[in-house]
Structure 1
Amino acid sequence: MNTFSKNNQNHLPNLLVAGVAKSGTSSLHQYLSQHSEIFMSKRKEPRFITSQVMDFPMGGPKDRKVESWYIKDFESYKNLFSEAKDESIRGESSADTFYFYEKTIPVIKQYLGDPKIIIILRNPVSRAFSAYQHLRRDEREHLSFEEALEVEYQRIRDNYELIYHYKAVSMYADALTAFLDNFSHVKVVINEELSDNPHENLKEIFNFLGVESEVEVNTATRYNLSGIPRFRYLHEMLFEGKKFMDYTRPVARFFFSAKTRKKISRTLMEKNLQRTHINEHTKIELIEYFREDIQRTEKILNRNLSHWLS
């Protein structure tokens, strides 16, 4: 059994962005990676922690492709941090770690000891609907949102990937209590606050991590956006790298730098994604469903989350 020790700690993360899925973990990962004192794994969502406790194969549409992204062996996980130099913080972001807390917390302790933990929470209704739009974007969901909510627990029993667990992933209080009880350094970030005031919130996060807090970070770009593509082939070309890109890449490389190419692709992808709106009746029903958990989360954090109930 591999366990945490002083001999291997330089090859392992001392920071986990543990979740929650579709709450801004991708964006936060990119923001943290811009800090010179922070090394974030180039591979976002390695999911090593959950791979140690998951049942495979997963049962949802295209879930086998998702499973192929999991890093399941310890040596490969350590290699994610082999390029780290003298950064005081080494981190990774796997948005499923929080949800599977009962099984993942012992694994974290086994391999990493007591790392710093960042948890980013989002309005649970918005998070659930964003997860739905994410699956519509990737052609993994063909039901209406209401129909998908009806069959959610059947899908959970059939071992669908957590992105299909719309309501269940949006329940925060129990997992939050468990992380606060088991780790010494836990920082909870509210997605809406980070979006509205990124500079102040990142300053708080950097202070929590013990790194220089007055650092310029580009927060203009949003990552891993959900939505339904207006033009499916354009989305697949930009997001999944269809063969057409093999012919256009040499031309693009000639005219544009790698940074500019990424910016152009991201802008095109964002403009191609059409965000739909949740049915008002469904929204009201979900607010009532989450009400008790939101109130418990408020007490745990001693923060006002009443805007999640409107």
Structure 2
Amino acid sequence: MPNFLVIGAAKAGTTSLYHYLNQHPEVFMSPVKEPKFFALEGEKPDFRGPGDREAWREAISSLDAYQALFEGVTDEKVVGEASPLYLYSEKAPARIKHHVPEARLIAVLRDPVERAYSQFLHKVRDGKEPLADFARAIEAEEGRVKENWAYGWHYKRRGFYYRQLSRYYAMFGPEQIRVYLYEDLKGDPAGLLRDVYGFLGVDDSFVPDMSLKHNVSGIPKNRLVHSLLRGRNPVKAALKPFLPRRLRKRLLVNLQGRNLTEPPGVAPAVRRALIEEYREDVSKLQGLIGRDLSGWLR
């Protein structure tokens, strides 16, 4: 079982953090990046949004299957996984407390408006979001929740971090929780990693390869190329025996990034409306984590 977890937030750099940690010789990371076990234990999700069933195939709800993810552990000092759903899940904190009560917990938080927009763009990028307008997608959110669309469609809801983190602080000591901001990860990734390594008790002088950008949102320049790069196809299958997994990953990430164009920003009126919805939560969050978040309210 893991002794540390990256619990969120979605679209706040957790994929990059997973890959950085996975390179550390004293860290074992689950080969499945997002098992989602503590959010789904014993459940059989039947989500109804576009592409949900395929997207949730790797989700693990059985304890035996979850434990099997860590069978490859050898002499690593720490063992972890990264499931951003844990921060949002109401059930995850109690399940984590039950199974791994001493686990160290890492969260990375992003401006909630930018986070919501990035998640929307992620769905647009993958051809799953039927609404091309962010404001309309936000308006449709509550209806989608009622229709049991998966958590990835909860654009606005997933940004109330004070509400979500409070569940963890109620069950775990503050010494077990480390909270960072997305700005920390983007502005000084090496510094953030040194702090994470210290928190986990591993060699903090290790420097991973941080040259690749992971899970980038954007608008595909060419939909066909995007589908070929992200889906299963004969070309990728033919190359598999000849290229090591790490090299294949690097090549695909690079090509996918080259096929994405920078999207427009959030419309000012939409941003103002969302800021007002988040204002109280952000104000409380500042006190909880001891960080100035006034930039999120502008």
Tell me the TM-score normalized by structure 2. 0.94
Q: Superposed, which structure 2 residues align to 1:29-108 within 5 Å?
A: 29-52=18-41, 56-100=45-89, 102-108=90-96
Q: What is the deviation of 1:248?
A: 5.0
Instruction: Quote the Cα distance in structure 1 between the aligned partners of 2:251 and 2:92.
Output: 38
In the alignment, structure 1 residue 270 sits paired with structure 2 residue 257: yes
Q: Which runs of 5+ in 1 are unaligned?
A: 1-11
How many Å apart are 1:257 and its aligned residue?
A: 5.3
Q: Which residue of the other structure, out of 158, 163, 183, is the alignment partner of 1:169?
A: 158
Contact 1:127 1:170 in 2 (8 A): yes
Aligned match of 1:8: none
Partners of 2:60 and 2:41 in 1: how far apart? 10
Is structure 2 residue 119 aligned with structure 1 residue 131?
yes
Separation (CA, whole Å) in 1 of partners of 2:246 and 2:58: 25
Partner Cα distance (2:55, 2:92) in 1: 19
Q: What is the CA-CA distance between 1:136 and the residue it aligns to?
A: 0.6
User: Is residue 121 from structure 1 mapped to residue 109 from structure 2 by the alignment?
Assistant: yes
1:200 is aligned to 191
Tell me which amino acid in the other structure corresponds to 2:76: E
Which residue is 1:217 aligned to? 208
Cα deviation for residue 300 of structure 1 reads 0.6
SS of 1:166's partner is coil
Determine helix, strand or coil for the equivalent of 2:170.
Answer: helix
Which of 267, 291, 296 is the equivalent residue of 1:279?
A: 267
Return closer, same or farther for 1:14/1:27 CA change in 2, 3 Å cut-off. Answer: same
Count matched residues: 294
Shift in Å, 1:247: 4.2
Indicate yes or no: 2:221 matched with 1:230: yes
120-129 vs 262-271, greater mean Cα deviation: 262-271
Q: CA deviation at 1:70?
A: 0.8
In the alignment, residue 266 of structure 1 is paired with which amino acid? V
| 1:309 CA drift (Å) | 1.8
Identity of aligned residues (%): 34
**Which segments of 5 or more consecutive residues in structure 2 lack a partner in the other structure?**
none
Worse-superposed segment, 259-268 or 193-202 = 259-268
CA deviation after TM superposition for structure 1 residue 30, in Å:
0.6
> Displacement, 1:113?
2.2
TM-score, normalised by the number of residues in structure 1: 0.90
CA drift of 1:76 comes to 1.1
The answer as to whether partners of 1:53 and 1:103 remain within 8 angstroms in 2 is no
SS at structure 2 position matched to 1:18 = strand
Deviations 1:206-242 (A, max 9, x none): 1111111111122221211112211112112221222
Aligned residue identity for 1:225: V
Between 164-173 and 281-290, report the one with greater CA deviation. Answer: 281-290
Matched, 1:160 2:149: yes
